[in-house]
Chains A and B, each alone.
Chain A
Amino acid sequence: MSDPRFARLVADARAGRLSRRHLLHAGLRLGLATPAISALIAAAPAGATAAPVGSRPSSFRQGANRTCTVLISVGTSDIDPHYSYTTLSSTIALAAYEMLIGLKGESTEEFEPMLAESWEASPDQSIYTFRLAPGVTFQDSTPCDAEAVKSSYTRFLLLDGNPVNVISRFVDSPDQIEAVDATTVRFTLGAPQPLFLPAMASQYGPSVVSPTAVAENKTDDDPYAHEWFKSNAVGTGPYRLVENTLNERLVLERFEEYRRGWEGEHFDQIVFRVVPEGATRRQLLEQGEADVAAYNVTVDDLQAMRTNPDLQVVEYPSTNVAWAVMNAPRLKSKEVRQGFSYAFPYEEVASGVFQGLLTRSGPIANSVRGHNPETFLYQTDLVRGKELILSGGFAEGDTFDYMFDSNDEREATIAQLFQANVAEMGFTLELVGVDYDTIEGTIFSDAPAEEIPMFIGGWGWWPDYNDPWNMLGPNFTEASLGDGGNAGDWVNPRFEEIMAEAETYTDEAKLKELMAEAQTILTELDPPVIYYGQITRYNVLRADIRGAIPNPLYLDAFPFYAMSRASSS
């Protein structure tokens, strides 16, 4: 600053002549001048700056070009792929670990090699043999051979974590997994299992972890080193975890010895940044401080971001169905649940809240095997709903409680719309706003039904792999009561029979028939939840990000190795 006034001010201050009045005056001028200058800069036409619109200054590009910053709204305390069922842990698993096979591109049916270069099934689909790529090493430099794969799947099975059904449906005992030679693994399933390959390509569970890391970090109480893997990761994936600060950030750096090499354009570093505030996430994306966000900006923000040339919005059909859980014991009878299914504001939620990114559906999305397009759908009918609730054991003026995630704007809006409908029917819906952790904790808590709210809004599910049994099982079966996902304690004997049959099905036509009946039970006859519909998910990315092809089963995950930043010329 060469302003003589400033020099005088400094001199005065040194000489002790600076009065409070002077200081206030100078401060006031500074205060007034700063916004004025900022406004002038902001008002200058974009062309006036040296850099072309939508790009960063070249100095910044060199430093940040090969880092991909992913915005997430909340962290997770458990990233063990064999134990955790959270979306974030599976997203990280797809970067740090590999499965034997993966889903190819946008397909839910086709596979591509990961650790296995090739694979084959016996004619009756009861024995599967995988040939591993030779010379693959884990991120701790130990070899990933057939023994390591066997050891990893044994851990997955015996650790008995949340996604264990992905493997336990097919494999009862580790003895069925055999390391034939250094690069051959064989699974002897004992019965025809056409779904084994889809399950092995799931985002949830079948990651191969380093047996050395397990051995080094296990304790007597924790023979599979679950505690250590909660916050660490050692796999064969393209990126290795180098920093994990809960609810702040996770940093992954490229694993130099990754078997597919680092030729061509790839990111060097993937940073997951936890930003709880939706408006802040949008701002960071718009300013280019972050590169991608998976399904965590609001639909309203999305409309504005679509028109921003610096950003790309990628919508994709998902296998995700959203619903509100109903507490079956506390709601007394199926009539009451049917009644509330009639009370839900479907039209307002689909067009007003989701703005078209929600399609009405029953429990199985149309992208999933076994979907029945004829499934009964409730339409809002408050008169009918009220009759059913009254006939089901409640009286006018009764109060019901509805738990929802108050940090999620969409859920808060849905809760209030539903509340208004319930009020119109002559009942009271008491809204209980909590944070997402509480919602998840309540769903998976083994507390008795009396301690669980009558409704839990904003829940939903997508299958681990393309299969209706896997979609419905974790949510509606007797086996999922208690600390499983059947939070409404809903049990239907006929549905149990159907599911038992569907677990071991081999005939596609029979499955369709069974699932059509299951969907009728789950909607029209005895609804356990209120289905909002199936969701069109969306990712928001900076315009220069390439290769982020979404898969309807790998929700909120990105194929980081295939992604890069386009060099703008």
Chain B
Amino acid sequence: MSTDPTAPARSPLALPVADNGRRLRGTDIRRERSQLRRNLKRFLVDNRLNLLGVVIVVGFVLLSLFGESIALHDPYAQNITGAKLLPPSFDHPMGTDELGRDVLSRIMTGSRISLQVAAVVLGFAVVVGTLVGAVAGYVGGVVDEVLMRVTDLFLAFPALILAIAIAASLGRDLRNTMIALSTVFWPWYARLVRAQVLSIRERDFVAAAQSIGLSGPRLLVRHVLPNALSVVIIQLTLDVGFAILSTSSLSFIGLGAQPPSPEWGTMMSTARNYFRDAWWYITFPGVALTLTVFAFNVLGDGLQDALDPRSGRR
């Protein structure tokens, strides 16, 4: 988690807002756009790993949206007497599971669950975290103290342990997993945004905005927050992988999605009972999970390089 308070006041991807109080002219917008293009080129073309990450992430998102409809088999259709634990074949490229269901179709369907959880969890975390962080950083004083101590309370526990405790006390259910993970993720964003806001509000352009009479929420929302967004986006991309992994971890130990859900962690949890005789069953969901998490991490890393030039190219 990087909470670099010296991040730039303007990130190249941030919206071209009038940070010095004057209206933007066409040349400014053109300059912004060309800078964006340069960054994109550097991001994708110069670094093949980033390209790979983007390709996998796009593939994953497409799979999440359309996976169930293009799957070869019904991911829930059972055939225990005829197709139990069949090895990979033309009809079942990734084999079948203990109920005779097609593993490939289940993995394709399962990606939607992962994306759903990641979207809900991080959506909540970003909104709540940003709100708390921005208010704390901008208002300061007692409010800041109180909000940050509450945040510290959540950060004091190891993330996964806290998630396990929450999920276990709420009951075994995917919805409860989302609640548990949301609770774990938001404090990081609160911290991150607060640090950004603290640094940004001391900048000249904020002082300028204040001098022309802007104040309070408007200043925060229009001028301070947009400049803190790039750091949040980087963190978000890195966290997608972590959220997917955490969901699968919880499901693997039986706290998340329940059978017959094709959630990847749930699949692996069942598959470990058969791995001695059916390698394909545990391998392919594992590969899918690894690739997805890897891709999101590469993407996050790449974005950090692109959006935060001072962190240096690696």
Contacts and interface: CB of A to CB of B under 8 A. Distances in A.
B81 interface: yes
Most buried by B among A300, A304, A419, A431: A300
Contacts of B218: none
Given A300-B277, A406-B254, A409-B270, A433 B80 contact: no
A348 interface: yes
B85 interface: yes
If over half of B's interface residues share one DSSP class (helix, strand or loop), that class is named, otherwise mixed; here it is: loop
Interface string B242-277: 000000000000100011100000000010111111
Nearest to B84: A352
13 contacts: A277-B272, A278-B273, A300-B273, A304-B277, A409-B274, A412-B259, A412-B270, A417-B80, A431-B259, A432-B172, A432-B258, A433-B172, A433-B258
B68 interface: no
Interface in A403-435: 406-407, 409, 412-413, 415-417, 419-420, 431-434
B81 A433 contact: no
B276 A420 contact: no
B276 A279 contact: yes
Contact of B80 (A304, A348, A407, A415): A348
A133 B275 CA distance: 52
A351 B254 CA distance: 27
Contacts of A434: 172
A125 interface: no
A416 B272 contact: no
Contacts, number: 64
A415 B259 contact: yes
B283 interface: no
A407 B272 CA distance: 11
Contacts of B258: 406, 431-433
A279 B273 contact: yes
Given A412-B259, A431-B258, A432-B172, A420 B78 contact: yes
Interface in A277-304: 277-279, 282-283, 298, 300-301, 304
A227 interface: no
A406 B254 CA distance: 8
A331 to B, nearest CB: 22
Interface residues of A, number: 28
A347 interface: yes
Contacts of A270: none
A481 interface: no
Nearest to A282: B276
B99 interface: yes
A417 B100 CA distance: 11
A26 B299 CA distance: 31
Contacts of A298: 273-274
A347 B81 contact: yes
Most buried by B among A279, A282, A413, A432: A413
A260 B98 CA distance: 49
A352 B259 contact: no
B205 interface: no
- Please give me the 5 A-B residue pairs with the lowest Cβ-Cβ distance, nearest first: A352-B80, A409-B273, A348-B80, A416-B260, A352-B81
Contact of B99 (A278, A304, A416): A416
Contacts of A407: 254
A353 interface: yes
Nearest to B277: A304
Interface in B261-303: 270, 272-277
B154 interface: no
Interface string B151-176: 00000000000000000000010000
Contacts of B78: 348, 416-417, 420
A308 to B, nearest CB: 12
Nearest to B98: A413
A353 B254 contact: no
Contacts of A420: 76, 78, 260
A279 to B, nearest CB: 6
B279 to A, nearest CB: 12
Contacts of A304: 276-277
Contacts of A283: 276
A409 B98 contact: yes
B66 to A, nearest CB: 24
A279 B85 contact: no
Given A353-B80, A433-B172, A416 B259 contact: yes
Given A409-B270, A412-B270, A348 B81 contact: yes
Interface string A55-90: 000000000000000000000000000000000000
B73 to A, nearest CB: 14
Most buried by A among B76, B172, B273, B274: B273
A301 B270 contact: no
Given A300-B85, A301-B276, A409-B98, 16 more contacts: A278-B273, A279-B272, A279-B273, A282-B276, A300-B274, A304-B277, A352-B80, A353-B80, A406-B254, A407-B254, A409-B270, A409-B274, A416-B78, A416-B260, A432-B172, A434-B172
